[in-house]
């Protein structure tokens, strides 16, 4: 097309139009930008750098390095006018640089940038450079150029030395066992050698030459005890990626630590020679004896037997024997020779085994057994002596002891102080499992077979009422599955309306077989039931069984939920071919409520947060934190916390050794390797499941399969013991020495079904005790804990209550004297007979056992402030409180100071006497202090004229103490006042300075009414004032006098006087000069003062303020807590709770003053609550028991 312009257009217009077309064309072109590693490479750049990849760095000759550069058209839009066309790359300069391709085509503004690779392949060493040129059409900045560079270098060998696979740095001077540079401890005269590896970690084409200069591997220092063995030959070549090995011998001849330096000659350019230090310690071998019992060391010379290390055999029934096995360990590094073991008492103790026939190798052990025969009542002891060749512990001695007891098994409840009542008819409960005293003051019970939570009135008894029916959820077909454990959130016990109104239940359910679930339900205070629709799963999905599910739940003071998981009855009866997993630890962590591997949750006690998650402070077992808290359990059906936070468990034994355990995080409780104590008695582990021919139909309690050998509890030769083993604090029966025979009812076990703890302190001599309901023996046993709660006072258990029944669980009532027991509806028991099967007497009942303490009978509450003391209906010994007239909290019979607050005795006061210090109220109700008379002259320090002298001695009878005569002189003076010149009103004064300790000054000033000249009716002396400085350097006034009223003034000052000043004032305004003479009488001093008069001492009575009508004191308290009602006469209930929410005591306040005995309570914080007859809270107070 030809554009024809009108003729009227001028040349300038034509130029403008051409320029416009050119501009439009230019601004529609593309623009190139090149980056390396995200950094822009400026067009024309001649300074390569590593940041934008234009500097390729150091590259071995013959190898290749590729850098990627990005080409981008930075003009926006996809218009063809802005497209870069015919993009071409060329490289000029070193031929070692090459582009991956030269023609890159075109690039629009909105297209993905192009990545282009440039390779650097140095053919020789040295710096190489080249210029990259990028040309294109339709662009604004073609050509685009920049310089690249790289350095080629020839490959070099690189030496590296390792020991045990770990690198030994060149120049290392700190020998370590990790890299074998430390040879450890070596006996003098013996040789040990360590191997080291020399590697060439350089390029495969390189050669590392060892012994390049002929010096090889050199050893210096070390007293000549180190030497190179199997040294490489001279000029050994190690190609890249390969290695060779050499060894160093250490053969010390003297004791001590020896150090040497290793130097390896090689051709590494910067590590030649390669140096490092080695060391070893030489010693003279010797044996070291150590003796343990129950896994605990017995110190040489120990004379204090303890159950912890088995040196105290405890109480043993007369006629019975008990054996304890002790281990001799050789912790030294030479053979330990034992020449003899002997006992000092061979009447009551005997020794079995002769471990001294063979020396004990270093690191090994042997055992011997001591047997105690309880023949004579009382405690007997024996010294054990071990002769050996330990240089400083020969002989090795310690003391053992045992106590023979004559035990009577008469049930305590058969005595006159107890009543036993069935609250329900037989079979009211369908095989119950757990009973608790609920927060609504009813008994809450789970029915294992009935699949319900029910409640019973603890006073009236009668029929049950259903709180929750789980028949559609719980799966139960066996003897130990169904609805089991129950735990109540502690807040429900302190506030029935709490939002934490949670009840936790454990039960089996069916999900491709039996599984176990722990679920949470909410309590409805209006209906007194559990909301069936409130179920929240806490933990589920781990396997359950028809046997040994355990199933006990507890909430601890740490607000964690604890659950006992049994071993599922594996390795016996129908489960005989399933291996016991109690010793198996988890292989993974991270288990949640419904997910994760819970296959090892067998034979364990679990601990979880209340939402089912894993607590952060759970132990790490098997390398993982899971819900597992302890392991090695068989069938722990009992679980209970003490108020001090200690956790106890009861556990069924196999045929012997039912256990009481103190549960400690991370510990191993032995099963199936150990039953009861670590004593090798009456039990060996027969692993039926390991038999290739295992058949559960052939299972026997008395014989192992022919192809299985029972495993003893420990190996007496090698003394192997389980890791983390925690022995029980008590067993039943630990005195059996052989595997029991006969039927299970004849075995020395009692089948402990649960566990409760008594801490109320109301039953004489009970202290802190564990109550153990049993199934086989139809007995509830009591085991008293020791003072620290980590053991039993005796291994002899009191038979608390017995009958031909299977006692499933027991709960302690809040009154501290009532116990509620549930019994199985079916099953076998021997009853107290201990052998023959018996029919159940009270199947499926709630039984109330109460310490009645002869209600209404006279007693002594130990309080002198009460009279007519009797037992009330709550078994409290209470009396009529006698008056407290002065209202000081001390009743009149005990009031030392009537009308005085006795609680002030011992507190500070002021008796008003300057002669005493540290004044306090005494038991005589006086405010009395310590009299201060430093010189002992009968004159207190505050009044003493002559400190350090006896002020009462005046042998010359001059009225001056002899001790003061050296400083006090008689003094008499006529005092003349300076002339007073009348120049208008004026004053005149005269000072009289007296000797130190002047006292009791008296004198007379005469003529103060003189009148002269001028106006005869006026007096010229208007005012006389006298001041003095006392013994404390304080100026005091001795009086003022006027001549208008008197002609003289008598001055008398009592006490110490250091100076006197007399002031005269003239009131006449005239010009006549007048001289007035004022006479002073005799001035006397150093006259003893009369003794100070006694201060009046009046008693002080502190007023009491109660704040409201009740007074609760003292707080903190150690023995007796007093609740006092000032005015109200309404019915008041007193409840006291532990910090975990457990109701400790609940009583009705019968009188205006009630005493709660707390000396048997564990120390700590408690909650005291006063409620009226409608249950409304009157007063709540935190009590701290010391």
* Residue finishing a domain among 237, 263, 283: 283
- The more confident residue out of 1148 and 662 is 662
* Residue finishing a domain among 850, 869, 888: 850
For 373-382, how does the pLDDT look when each residue is reduced to its tens digit (9 = 90+)? 888 889 999 9
Angle CA 572–577–583, to nearest 5 = 75
Please name which of 586, 751, 575 lies closest in space to residue 658, comparing C-alpha atoms: 751
What CATH number should be reported for the domain holding residue 1127? Answer: 2.60.40.3080
**Residue 912 placed within a domain:** no
For 195-225, how does the pLDDT look when each residue is reduced to its tens digit (9 = 90+)? 999 999 988 788 898 875 656 899 998 778 9
Cite the active site residues. 548
**Residue 1095 placed within a domain:** no
Interatomic CA distance for residues 1184 and 255, integer angstroms: 62
Q: What is the pLDDT of residue 113?
A: 92
Domain count across the chain: 6
Give the mean pLDDT of 938-950.
Answer: 70
Give the mean pLDDT of 1094-1104.
Answer: 26
Give 3's pLDDT tier (boundaries 50, 70, 90): very low
**Residue 1090 placed within a domain:** no
Q: What is the pLDDT of residue 1021?
A: 62
Least confident among 112-121, 350-359, 481-490, 1128-1137: 350-359
Do 457 and 321 fall within a single domain?
no
For 116-166, how does the pLDDT look when each residue is reduced to its tens digit (9 = 90+)? 999 999 999 999 999 999 999 999 999 999 999 999 988 889 999 999 999
Q: What share of the chain is helix, strand, coil (3-state, %, to 5)?
A: 5, 40, 55
Interatomic CA distance for residues 454 and 432, integer angstroms: 10
**Residue 1096 placed within a domain:** no
Do 106 and 208 fall within a single domain?
no
Q: What is the pLDDT of residue 1054?
A: 67
Give the mean pLDDT of 559-583.
Answer: 96
Q: What is the pLDDT of residue 961?
A: 61
**Residue 508 placed within a domain:** yes
Q: What is the pLDDT of residue 998?
A: 64
Give 1058's pLDDT tier (boundaries 50, 70, 90): confident
Give the mean pLDDT of 881-902.
Answer: 82
Evaluate if residue 835 carries a pLDDT over 50.
yes
Q: What is the pLDDT of residue 408?
A: 52
Do 685 and 825 fall within a single domain?
yes
Beta strand 1143-1149 pairing with 916-921: unpaired
Q: What's the N-to-C CA distance of the chain in angstroms?
A: 114
What CATH number should be reported for the domain holding residue 435? Answer: 2.120.10.30
Evaluate if residue 20 carries a pLDDT over 80.
no
Q: What is the pLDDT of residue 759?
A: 95
Q: What is the pLDDT of residue 1031?
A: 65
**Residue 248 placed within a domain:** yes
**CA 144 remoteness from chain centre:** 72
What CATH number should be reported for the domain holding residue 974? Answer: 2.60.120.1050
Evaluate if residue 516 carries a pLDDT over 90.
yes
Evaluate if residue 80 carries a pLDDT over 70.
yes
For 658-693, how does the pLDDT look when each residue is reduced to its tens digit (9 = 90+)? 999 999 999 999 999 999 887 777 888 999 999 999
**690: phi then psi, degrees, rounded to nearest 5:** -85, -5
Which residue, chain included where needed, has tokens 């040994």?
548
Q: What is the pLDDT of residue 639?
A: 98
Do 294 and 163 fall within a single domain?
no
Give the mean pLDDT of 741-751.
Answer: 82
Q: What is the pLDDT of residue 1066?
A: 58
Do 689 and 799 fall within a single domain?
yes
Do 255 and 177 fall within a single domain?
yes
Evaluate if residue 993 carries a pLDDT over 90.
no
Evaluate if residue 1165 carries a pLDDT over 80.
no
Element (H, E) at 20: helix 11-27
What CATH number should be reported for the domain holding residue 268? Answer: 2.60.40.10
Give 475's pLDDT tier (boundaries 50, 70, 90): very high
Mean residue pLDDT across the chain: 84
Give 795's pLDDT tier (boundaries 50, 70, 90): confident
For 243-287, how does the pLDDT look when each residue is reduced to its tens digit (9 = 90+)? 999 999 999 999 999 999 999 999 998 999 999 999 999 988 899
Do 108 and 185 fall within a single domain?
no
Give the mean pLDDT of 792-809.
Answer: 88
**Residue 15 placed within a domain:** no
Q: What is the pLDDT of residue 357?
A: 66
Do 1058 and 1125 fall within a single domain?
no
Least confident among 118-127, 362-371, 1173-1182: 1173-1182
Do 368 and 277 fall within a single domain?
no
Do 380 and 418 fall within a single domain?
no
Give, in order, the Cα–Cα distances in Å from 406 to each of 134, 305, 316, 382, 793.
110, 22, 8, 21, 16
Residue 1120: give the domain boundaries.
1107-1185
Look at the chain and count its residues: 1186
Give the mean pLDDT of 50-62.
Answer: 93
Q: What is the pLDDT of residue 492?
A: 97
Give the mean pLDDT of 394-420.
Answer: 84
**Residue 9 placed within a domain:** no
Do 581 and 561 fall within a single domain?
yes
Evaluate if residue 480 carries a pLDDT over 80.
yes
Q: What is the pLDDT of residue 721?
A: 65
Q: What is the pLDDT of residue 910?
A: 86
* Residue finishing a domain among 806, 826, 850: 850
- The more confident residue out of 392 and 745 is 392
Evaluate if residue 63 carries a pLDDT over 50.
yes
Q: What is the pLDDT of residue 1106?
A: 34
**73: phi then psi, degrees, rounded to nearest 5:** -90, 110
Do 605 and 741 fall within a single domain?
yes
* Residues 6+ away with beta carbon under 8 Å from 55: 48, 49, 148, 149, 150
- Please state the three-class secondary structure of 854-876 as a single string: CCCCECCCCCCCEEEEEECCCCC
């Amino acid at each position: 097309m030809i554009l024809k312009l009108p003729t009227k257009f001028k040349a300038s217009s034509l130029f403008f139009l051409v320029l416009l077309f050119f501009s439009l064309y230019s601004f529609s072109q593309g623009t190139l930008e090149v980056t390396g590693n995200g950094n822009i490479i400026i067009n024309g750049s001649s300074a390569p750098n590593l940041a934008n990849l234009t500097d390729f760095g150091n590259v071995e000759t013959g190898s290749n390095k590729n850098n990627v550069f990005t080409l981008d058209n930075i003009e926006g839009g996809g218009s063809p006018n802005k497209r870069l066309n015919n993009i071409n790359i060329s490289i000029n300069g070193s031929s070692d640089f090459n582009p991956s391709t030269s023609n890159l085509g075109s690039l629009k503004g909105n297209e993905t940038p192009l990545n282009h690779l440039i390779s650097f392949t140095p053919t020789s060493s040295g710096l190489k450079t080249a210029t990259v040129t990028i040309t294109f059409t339709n662009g604004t900045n073609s050509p685009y150029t920049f310089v690249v560079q790289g350095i080629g270098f020839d490959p070099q060998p690189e030496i590296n030395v390792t020991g045990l696979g770990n690198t030994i740095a060149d120049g290392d001077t700190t020998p370590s066992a990790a890299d074998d540079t430390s040879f450890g401890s070596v006996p003098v005269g013996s040789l040990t050698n360590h191997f080291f590896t020399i590697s060439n970690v350089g390029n495969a084409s390189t050669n590392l030459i060892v012994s390049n200069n002929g010096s090889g591997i050199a050893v210096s220092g070390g007293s000549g005890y180190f030497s190179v063995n199997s040294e490489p030959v001279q000029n050994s070549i190690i190609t890249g990626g390969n290695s060779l090995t050499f060894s160093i011998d250490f053969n010390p001849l003297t004791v001590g630590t020896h150090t040497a330096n290793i130097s390896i000659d090689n051709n590494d350019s910067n590590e030649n020679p390669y140096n490092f230090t080695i060391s070893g310690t030489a010693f003279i071998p010797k044996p070291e004896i150590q003796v343990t019992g129950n896994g605990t060391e017995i110190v040489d010379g120990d004379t204090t037997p303890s159950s912890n290390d088995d040196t105290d055999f405890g109480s043993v029934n007369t006629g019975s024997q008990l054996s304890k096995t002790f281990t001799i360990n050789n912790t030294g590094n030479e053979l330990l020779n034992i020449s003899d073991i002997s006992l000092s008492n061979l009447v009551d103790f005997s020794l079995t085994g002769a471990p001294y026939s063979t020396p004990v190798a270093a690191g090994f052990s042997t055992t011997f057994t001591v047997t105690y025969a309880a023949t004579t009542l009382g405690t007997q002891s024996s010294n054990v002596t071990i002769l050996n060749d330990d240089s400083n512990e020969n002989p090795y001695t310690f003391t053992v002891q045992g106590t023979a007891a004559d035990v009577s098994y008469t049930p305590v409840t058969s005595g006159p102080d107890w009543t036993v009542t069935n609250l329900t008819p037989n079979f009211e409960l369908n095989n119950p499992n757990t009973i608790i005293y609920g927060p609504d003051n009813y008994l809450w019970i789970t029915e294992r077979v009935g699949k319900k939570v029910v409640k019973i009135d603890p006073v009236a008894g009668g029929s049950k009422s259903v709180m929750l029916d789980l028949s559609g959820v719980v799966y139960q077909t066996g003897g130990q599955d169904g609805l089991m454990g129950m735990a109540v959130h502690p807040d429900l016990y302190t506030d029935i309306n709490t939002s934490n109104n949670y009840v936790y239940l454990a039960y089996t359910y069916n999900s491709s077989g039996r599984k176990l679930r722990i679920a949470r339900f909410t309590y409805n205070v209006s209906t007194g039931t559990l909301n069936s629709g409130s179920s929240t799963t806490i933990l589920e999905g781990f396997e359950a069984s028809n046997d040994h599910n355990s199933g006990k739940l507890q909430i601890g003071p740490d607000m964690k939920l604890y659950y006992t998981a049994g071993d599922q009855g594996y390795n016996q009866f129908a489960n005989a071919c399933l291996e016991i997993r109690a010793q198996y630890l988890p292989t993974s962590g991270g288990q949640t409520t419904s997910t994760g591997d819970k296959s090892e949750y067998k034979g364990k006690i679990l601990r979880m947060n209340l939402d089912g998650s894993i607590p952060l402070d759970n132990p790490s077992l098997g390398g993982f934190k899971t819900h597992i808290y302890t392991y090695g359990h068989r069938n722990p059906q009992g679980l209970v916390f003490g108020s001090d936070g200690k956790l106890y468990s009861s556990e069924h034994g196999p045929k012997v050794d039912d256990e009481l355990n103190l549960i400690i995080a991370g510990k191993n409780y032995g099963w199936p390797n150990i039953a009861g104590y670590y004593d090798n008695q009456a039990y060996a582990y027969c692993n039926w499941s390991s038999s290739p021919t295992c058949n559960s139909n052939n299972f026997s309690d008395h014989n192992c399969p022919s192809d299985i050998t029972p495993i003893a509890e420990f190996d007496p030769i090698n003394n192997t013991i389980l890791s983390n083993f925690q022995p029980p604090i008590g067993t039943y029966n630990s005195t059996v020495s052989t595997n029991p025979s006969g039927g299970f009812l004849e075995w020395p076990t009692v089948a402990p079904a649960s566990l409760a703890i008594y801490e109320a302190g109301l039953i004489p001599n009970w202290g802190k005790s564990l109550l153990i309901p049993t199934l086989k023996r139809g007995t509830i046993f009591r085991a008293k804990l020791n003072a620290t709660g980590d053991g039993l006072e005796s291994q002899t258990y009191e038979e608390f209550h017995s009958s031909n029944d299977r006692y499933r669980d027991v709960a302690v009532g809040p009154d501290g004297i009532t116990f509620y027991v549930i019994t199985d509806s079916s099953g076998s028991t021997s009853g107290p007979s201990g052998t023959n099967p018996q029919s159940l007497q009270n199947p499926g009942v709630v039984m109330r056992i109460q310490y009645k303490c002869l209600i209404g009978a006279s007693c002594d509450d130990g309080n002198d402030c009460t009279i007519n003391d009797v037992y009330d209906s709550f078994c409290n010994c209470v009396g009529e409180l006698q008056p407290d007239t002065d209202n000081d909290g001390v009743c009149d019979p005990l009031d030392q100071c009537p009308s005085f607050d006795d609680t002030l005795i011992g507190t500070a006061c002021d008796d008003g006497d300057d002669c005493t210090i540290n004044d306090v109220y005494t038991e005589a109700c006086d405010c009395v202090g310590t009299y201060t008379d430093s010189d002992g002259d009968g004159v207190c320090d505050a009044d003493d004229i002559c400190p350090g002298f006896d002020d009462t001695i005046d042998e010359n009878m001059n009225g001056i103490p002899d001790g003061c005569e050296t400083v006090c002189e008689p003094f008499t003076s006529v005092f003349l006042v300076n002339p007073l010149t009348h120049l208008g009103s004026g004053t005149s004064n005269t000072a009289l300075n007296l000797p130190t300790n002047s006292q009791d000054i008296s004198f007379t000033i005469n003529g103060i009414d003189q009148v002269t000249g001028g106006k005869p009716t006026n007096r010229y002396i208007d005012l006389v004032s006298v001041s003095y400085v006392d013994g404390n350097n304080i100026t005091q006034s001795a009086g003022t006098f006027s001549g208008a009223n008197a002609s003289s003034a008598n001055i008398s000052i009592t006490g110490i006087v250091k100076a006197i000043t007399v002031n005269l004032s003239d009131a006449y305004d005239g010009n006549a000069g007048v001289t007035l003479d004022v006479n002073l009488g005799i001035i006397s001093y150093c006259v003893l003062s009369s003794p100070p008069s006694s201060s009046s001492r009046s008693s002080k009575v502190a007023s009491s303020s109660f704040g409201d009508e009740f007074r609760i004191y003292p707080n903190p308290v150690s023995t007796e807590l007093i609740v006092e009602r000032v005015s109200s006469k309404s019915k008041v209930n007193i409840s006291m709770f532990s910090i975990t929410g457990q109701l400790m005591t609940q009583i009705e306040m019968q009188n205006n003053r009630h005493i709660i005995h707390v000396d048997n309570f564990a120390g700590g914080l408690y909650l005291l609550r006063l409620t009226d007859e409608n249950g409304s809270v009157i007063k709540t107070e935190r009590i701290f028991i010391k």
